Amino acid sequence: MTSPPNPPPPNPPSAQPRYPVRVDLPAHANGGPNGDTPDYPGDPISEPYATLTAVAPAPELPSVPMTAERLPRWAGWAVPLGFTLGGLLALPSGISPGLVLPVVMIVSAAFIYLWSRSVEGARYALDRLVTAIVTSAFLIAMIPLVSVTWTVVDRGTGRFDWDFFSESMRGIVGAGGGGYHAITGTLIVTALACVISIPIGLLCAIYLVEYGKDNRLSRWLTFFVDVMAGIPSIVAGLFAYALFVHISGPGVRMGIVGAVALSVLMIPVLVRATVEMLKIVPNELREASLALGVPTWRTIAKIVIPTSLGGIAASVTLAVARIIGETAPLLITLGITTGTNFNPFSERMATLPVFAYTQNQTPGIARNGMGPPGFDRAWTAALILIMIVMALNLLGRLIARLFAPKTGR
Amino acid sequence: MAKRIDVDQLNIYYKDFLAVEDVSMNIEARSVTAFIGPSGCGKSTLLRSLNRMHEVIPGARVEGKVVIDGQDLYAPNVDPVGVRRSVGMVFQKPNPFPTMSIRENVAAGLKLNGTKLRKATIDELVERSLVGANLWNEVKDRLDKPGAGLSGGQQQRLCIARAIAVQPDVLLMDEPCSALDPISTLAVEELISELRQNYTIVIVTHNMQQAARVSDRCAFFNIAGTGKPGKLIEMGPTQKIFSTPSVKATEDYISGRFG
Ligand SMILES: Nc1ncnc2c1ncn2[C@@H]1O[C@H](COP(=O)(O)OP(=O)(O)OP(=O)(O)O)[C@@H](O)[C@H]1O
Ligand SMILES: [Mg+2]
């Protein structure tokens, strides 16, 4: 750094290459090196280094120790556990659990922060505090999920029997009957919604990413997709209903109307997710394909889509999971019926969410010491819906993993 | 097979930014031409405009002529897809298709072009291309394994095999060895020397020794400052450019005294 490099000895004429870069000329290059060129005037090597001698020493920085006192390993889980036990012991005295939980969380966080600060120093203490806050937030967020799952499983298993999967509500007044007609209806309407929205959504996303490339139309499309994503589901239902009133007259109730309403909700979800998936396909792959003389549409079909297929399939399943539980639009467009209807182009159709809703509204009369039979049927319908959504989520992950590009050897 | 390229008064733009100004040059058939010059002087830009890959970037356009064997690439009736079939390209970063096996990667150009070929023909072309790219011995036992599982140097040779499988007339290479170790670099350089017999090759490189080793002719580009367009300073036989360049800037650059 401080001493200048030794100046090289002056070049003996035409004995050494004239440049510091040593080049071995290939045999195929025309001619050979000629010695009759004038000698290089300056000293090419030492000149660029001349400026390096003037560098001042860097100012000294405070040194950071490489070892630090730490809390015992068990501190992270033992402290919250201890305070939770304390909170549980306090429960019999009549304090509400809703108060105990936040108190336990706050006291544990404060305790571990202060303890850590006195032993480990400010940086580790802050780390522990943030860990405590994030963990608490996670636990609080889990409460509704666990509680819903627990309640639905608890109450839904009562009618989770063969009859529920094989019988409709036709002619049923009291207990008995089932949700067969609602299950088939949900499957038919959702499948129809997929048939409508998957092509539209995928093609729209492909246009936005592959062809639109930020032109005016694609910017407007993106804007409208975002607006569409904010449409309340009841409005989507009203739209589909109004649309079909123009075609089939007032009071129309058909599976297809519900499917259109669900498509309005599904398309923006699908477009947004697919756009993200297509955007993460590296541009180099498109260029590599185009440079081979492959037309754009084949590049998209054979390179871009296969590369992002896992992500696209996962977004489709998640979009389906998103709409399969919609109630309001289906209540308007499909209504409810007691019998099984396989034809989405005529008459009313039952679906699981609407079935759960109506069973809850008109549960029937309690008899023989049992509660109203409609409540049980509503819970079971809800349980089946949750199971379908969970299965779709798992399926989405499975698909994403199966189709992910392989890099292994 | 090999074809010569004549570039005539070419201006290359990104939207309103003039990246390369007024380049005129002749690239000989069956020879290796090297583009050298400082970063940002428009070597890649010019290279990409030789097979109409430049226009893939939104807002990018070109003025002037690029004539390959008498056909102006930028004439209105020219199909860029056809141009790219006869002018292949190898990129700086190896970019095998991740969803495809080694065999499928090499055959990608043949299959995706929509040419109907029998499987035996494709297999033969795959083997010839891999042999041509000096990769056959390393991968012949695992042709059905993913192409992305190869090492960086092997991936780059796989990309070269993929490019020569469609039998282009011209091969453009943008710093093909910049991500490779010396041994892979040597393999690629040997490959370039062999390919010279059948192809017209244009290679961009920052490695002076490499330019001197592999090229027959050399073009030096320079840029007056940031925001200014890059220009062709001089072009000639490599031996002459490296020993007696006619412009001072070329001499400075080659001798490592640039900037
Ligand atoms: N996609 C792009 N959009 C706008 N400007 C670009 C784009 N790509 C390159 N440029 C500009 O064009 C000029 C030439 O770039 P180019 O990539 O051709 O340089 P290069 O000579 O290949 O440099 P390097 O040796 O670093 O690869 C630069 O000023 C660069 O900023
Ligand atoms: Mg470049």
**Rounded mean pLDDT of B97-110?**
91
CA of B31 vs chain A CAs: smallest distance (Å): 10
Q: Which of residues 145-174 of B touch A (CB under 8 A)?
A: 145-146, 148-149, 159, 162-163, 166
How confident is the model over B176-217, as pLDDT tens digits? 888 778 887 888 898 888 888 888 999 999 999 899 999 999
| Closest listed residue to residue A101, CA positions, set A91, A112, A114, A116 | A91
Q: How many angstroms separate the alpha carbon of residue B45 from the centre of ligand 1?
A: 6
- For CATH 1.10.3720.10, the residue range(s) in chain A are 163-363+372-402
- Please give the distance, rounded to the nearest whole angstrom, from the Cα atom of residue B204 to the centre of ligand 2: 7
pLDDT in tens, B121-153: 899 999 999 988 888 998 989 999 988 889 888
User: How confident is the model at residue A53, as a pLDDT?
Assistant: 54
Q: In this structure, which residue's CA is closest to atom 22 in ligand 1?
A: B44
pLDDT tens profile A242-276: 999 998 888 888 899 999 999 999 999 999 999 99
Is residue A2 pLDDT above 50, yes or no?
no
Q: Find tokens 């040059």 and name the residue.
A: B25
Nearest listed ligand to the Cα of residue B229: 1
Reply yes or no on whether the pLDDT at B26 is more than 50. yes
Q: What is the pLDDT of residue A406?
A: 64
Do the beta carbons of residue B29 and residue B200 sit within 8 Å? Answer: yes
Look at A49-63, A232-246, B20-34, B188-202 and tell me which has the smallest mean pLDDT: A49-63
pLDDT at position B117 over 50: yes
For the Cβ of B43 lying below 6 angstroms from any atom of ligand 1, the answer is yes
B126 C-beta neighbours (distance < 10 Å), count: 22
Query: pLDDT tier at A76 (50, 70, 90 boundaries)?
Result: confident
Average of pLDDT values for A334-347?
86
Q: Do B213 and A287 touch (CB under 8 A)?
A: no
> Do B162 and A409 count as a contact with CB atoms less than 8 A apart?
no
Residue pointed to by tokens 């020397």: B193
Shortest Cα–Cα distance, B32 to chain A (Å): 11
Determine contact, residues B183/B153, Cβ cutoff 8 Å. Answer: yes
pTM: 0.79
Cα distance between residue B139 and residue B137, in whole Å: 6
Q: Are B156 and B91 spatial neighbours (Cβ–Cβ below 8 Å)? A: no
Label residue A354 by pLDDT band (50, 70, 90): very high
Interface probe, candidates B57, B97, B105, chain A, greatest A C-beta count within 10 A: B97
Among the partner-chain residues A31, A292, A408, the one whose CB lies closest to the CB of B162 is A292
Residue A13: pLDDT band with limits 50, 70, 90: very low
CATH 3.40.50.150 matches A163-363+372-402: no
In this prediction, residue A250 carries a pLDDT of: 86
Q: How close B229 comes to chain A (CA, Å)?
A: 24
A292 contact partners, CB below 8 Å, separation of at least 6: B84, B85, B88, B108, B109, B112, B113, B162, B163, B166
Residues 55-74 of B with CB under 8 A from A: 56, 58
Find residue B170's DSSP bridge partners.
B87, B200
| ipTM beyond cut 0.85 | yes
Q: Length of chain A, please?
A: 409
pLDDT at A7: 52
Distance CA(A327)–CA(B53), nearest Å, equals 51
pLDDT tens track for A119-147: 888 888 999 999 999 999 999 999 999 99
C-alpha–C-alpha distance, residues A139 and B245, integer Å: 73
Which region holds residue A154: left if phi is over 0, alpha if psi is between -120 and 50, else beta? alpha
Give the pLDDT band of residue A36 (cuts 50, 70, 90).
very low
Q: Which of the 8 DSSP states describes residue A19?
A: S
Interchain contact, A294 vs B109, CB within 8 Å: yes
Is the predicted pLDDT of residue B84 greater than 50, yes or no?
yes
Contacts of A121 (CB under 8 A, 6+ apart): A68, A69
Which ligand 1 atom sits closest to the C-alpha of B35?
Answer: 21
Q: Which residues of B108-124 are buried (b: 16+ CB within 10 A; e: fewer)?
A: bbbbbbeeeeeeeebee
Give rounded-to-5 percent helix, strand, coil for chain A: 65, 0, 35
Residue in this structure with the two tokens 């539980």, named with its chain if needed: A325
Question: Does A288 contact B82 at a Cβ distance shorter than 8 Å?
Answer: no
**In a 10 Å sphere around its CB, with 0-12 CB exposed, 13-18 middle and 19+ buried, how is residue A38 labelled?**
exposed
pLDDT at position A46 is 44
Whole-number average pLDDT of chain A: 83
Shortest-distance Cα residue to atom 24 of ligand 1: B39
Residue nearest to atom 17 of ligand 1 (CA): B44
pLDDT at A25: 47
- Separation of B52 CA from ligand 1 center, angstroms? 16
- A20–B146 CB contact, under 8 Å: no
- Determine the Cα angle at B32 with ends B28 and B35, to 5°: 95
Kindly report the nearest CA distance between residue B125 and chain A, in angstroms.
15
In three-state form (DSSP H/G/I as H, E/B as E, the rest C), the secondary structure along A90-108 is: HHHHCCCHHHHHHHHHHHH
- Within 8 A of B176 by CB-CB distance, chain A residues are none
pLDDT value at position B133?
85
Count of Cβ atoms closer than 10 Å to residue B170 Cβ: 24
Ligand closest to Cα of B38 equals 1
Q: First CA to last CA across chain A, in angstroms?
A: 46
Residues 6+ apart with CB under 8 A from A296: A210, A290
Judge whether residue A334 has pLDDT over 60.
yes
* Residue A284 confidence (pLDDT) above 60: yes
What is d(CA A236, CA A332) in angstroms, rounded to the nearest whole number? 10
Q: State whether A291 and B95 contact (CB < 8 Å).
A: no
pLDDT category at B31 given cuts 50, 70, 90 is very high
**Residue A73 has what pLDDT?**
87
Q: How far is B144 from B213, CA to CA, in rounded Å?
A: 35
Q: How far is residue A282 from each of residues B97, B154, B258, measured CA to CA in Å?
A: 10, 20, 34
The answer to whether the Cβ–Cβ distance between B242 and A409 falls below 8 Å is no
Mean pLDDT of A27-52: 44
Chain B partners within 8 Å of A310 (Cβ): none
